[in-house]
Amino acid sequence: MALWGGRFTGQTSDLFKQFNDSLPVDYRMAEQDIVGSISWSRALLSVNVLSKQEQQDLEKALTDLLAQVQAEPAMVLLDDAEDIHSWVEIKLIEAVGDLGKKLHTGRSRNDQVATDLKLWCRQQGEDLKSLLANLIEELVKLAEREQDTVLPGYTHLQRAQPVTFAHWCLAYVEMFERDVQRLNNALALMNTSPLGCGALAGTAYAIDREALAQDLGFDRATRNSLDSVSDRDHVLELLSVASISSVHLSRMAEDIIFYNSGEAGFLEMSDDVTSGSSLMPQKKNPDAMELIRGKCGRVVGSLTGMMVTMKALPLAYNKDMQEDKEGLFDTVDTWTICLQMAVLCIQGIKVNKERTYQAAQQGYSNATELADYLVAKGIPFREAHHIVGVAVVAAIAEGKPLEDLPIAKLKEFSEQIDDDVYQHLTIEACLEKRVALGGTSKDRVKEAIASKQK
Ligand code: ARG
């Protein structure tokens, strides 16, 4: 049953109904629609559209319905209704009869859907914040375990300078902390209530929209009815935050896939998050991380899709906007399971310290140290850089690391190089020199871990 039959003399085609109905998607906002409806009934009481008794009866029926959908959200799908707003109204009329028909006074599905969706985003945003916090906590734990583990640091995927494994963990902690901040910003900005804006021009009843906003836990009411019913910035923002966070997840996944590879062998992912090959018996594949890396594409795709849906839409509400939910719901689900999966993967990681140490020793990762050594002896950095470059070429030709070249050989590159050079070329020396804030020295990393544990 549609809520708008009177204007029509002809029948709705089955295909159009299937095309137009959004219940199979927006049933997930049942709770928000009912909560919004309860507040709306209170607003109608305040302007004497409903008597005290009527409002109480409506609130009771809505509260019963809320308990039912909370217990069994999929129950909504057993019925046939155009959308979740129609479903709630139909159920209410079934429960209380004609009184239920009064609830939609002064309200439109346009301010209703905008309100429901903001309430939904707010709830999900809070859940996502705690999932991000779990991942941050797990990465900090791994950092604590691997404070003394040396890892080759890369630029251009070429071994560059050694870092600690903990330093790598904390790099992702920074990213996920920014995601939490971004979520907070988005949630703060979207926390305004569109309810009471009607279809587009505002409601004809003298409703105190600020009181209504407070009742629903919003900071305040929105200011312009045209904007309120057509604003989907909150969807775009949640999709943006999800996209950026998914990019972070995909980068972490890519690092782990590489570290887990036979070529690197820096770590092993646990059996509970890896899978085998149907043909090659030896395989143990990092599917969980590959899926996290891959799902990022869907999330960014939903952001792009919604941007294009909103582009050049005229004021105010247009049915195009019904397309906002599929991508948003899918994104929130995808982001949620990726964060949960990342936690499980990080928990099971076993780092191979010997292998990472060995790899950090190769690839001339201490070349910068030799240049800095020459700088300390009074050679300008640019010149020192060139001298060490020549030394690296010679070392490569001999198939040896810099520290294995005898002093006589090193002196060929610069007279300033003395026996004390070797102590500067150890991995430990490379790490310990990075003492400035943000660097990979033991003390800085220890401080960073402690600051994340507060
Ligand atoms: N199902 C619609 C949506 O999600 C609700 C609003 C419909 N409003 C309307 N006037 N047809 O956007």
Return d(Cα 65, Cα 31) in angstroms, integer.
9
What's residue 283's pLDDT? 83
Taking only the tens place, the pLDDT of each residue in 240-266 is 999 999 999 999 999 999 999 999 999
* Inter-axis angle of helices 109-145 and 442-453, nearest 10: 140
Instruction: Tell which one of 322, 326, 328 to mutate to probe ligand 1, the residue whose CB is within 8 A of the most ligand atoms.
Output: 322
Residue with tokens 């209530």: 193
Instruction: Tell which one of 113, 230, 306, 323 to mutate to probe ligand 1, the residue whose CB is within 8 A of the most ligand atoms.
Output: 113
CA of 353 to the centre of ligand 1 (A): 57
CA angle 332, 333, 335 (to 5 degrees): 65
Buried b (16+ CB within 10 A) or exposed e, 374-389: beeeebeeeebbebbe
What's residue 280's pLDDT? 83
Structure tokens at 271: 């059996």
The question of whether 277 is a catalytic residue gets the answer yes
pTM over 0.90: yes
Pocket of ligand 1 (CB under 6 A): 22, 26, 83, 109-110, 113, 319, 321-322
Residues whose CB is less than 8 angstroms from the CB of residue 164 and which lie 6 or more positions away in sequence, other chains included: 146, 147, 148, 149, 150, 151, 431, 440, 442, 445
Structure tokens at 353: 């310290």
CA of 89 to the centre of ligand 1 (A): 14
What's residue 6's pLDDT? 87
Q: Whose CA is nearest to atom 3 of ligand 1?
A: 322
Return d(Cα 370, Cα 376) in angstroms, integer.
10
Report the residue count for the chain: 454
pLDDT along the chain (454 residues), means of 10: 85 95 98 98 98 98 98 97 98 98 98 98 98 98 98 96 97 98 98 98 98 98 98 98 98 98 96 88 91 98 98 98 98 98 98 97 93 96 96 96 95 96 95 96 97 90
Closest CA to 373 of 423, 334, 333: 423
Return d(Cα 323, Cα 309) in angstroms, integer.
8
Structure tokens at 69: 């959908």
Element (H, E) at 193: strand 192-193
Return d(Cα 201, Cα 438) in angstroms, integer.
53
Residue pair 4/90 in contact (Cβ under 8 Å)? The answer is no
Of the residues 130, 277, 386, 451, only one is catalytic, namely: 277
Residue pair 16/82 in contact (Cβ under 8 Å)? The answer is no
CA of 249 to the centre of ligand 1 (A): 34
The question of whether 156 is a catalytic residue gets the answer yes
Q: What is the ipTM of this complex?
A: 0.96
Instruction: Tell which one of 23, 108, 109 to mutate to probe ligand 1, the residue whose CB is within 8 A of the most ligand atoms.
Output: 109
Q: Whose CA is nearest to atom 12 of ligand 1?
A: 322
Return d(Cα 294, Cα 291) in angstroms, integer.
5
* Inter-axis angle of helices 324-347 and 287-310, nearest 10: 160
Structure tokens at 261: 């590879």
CA of 85 to the centre of ligand 1 (A): 9
Closest CA to 267 of 429, 152, 363: 152
Q: Whose CA is nearest to atom 2 of ligand 1?
A: 322
What's residue 269's pLDDT? 96
CA of 115 to the centre of ligand 1 (A): 12
Residue pair 248/338 in contact (Cβ under 8 Å)? The answer is no
Return d(Cα 190, Cα 122) in angstroms, integer.
8
Buried b (16+ CB within 10 A) or exposed e, 237-249: bbbbbbbbbbebb
* Inter-axis angle of helices 30-46 and 52-71, nearest 10: 170
Looking from the CA of residue 26, the nearest atom of ligand 1 is 4
Return d(Cα 454, Cα 451) in angstroms, integer.
6
SS3 letters across 415-450: CCCCHHHHHHCCHHHHHHCCCCCCCCCHHHHHHHHH
CA of 170 to the centre of ligand 1 (A): 45
CA of 109 to the centre of ligand 1 (A): 6
Element (H, E) at 158: strand 158-164
Of the residues 156, 167, 248, 270, only one is catalytic, namely: 156
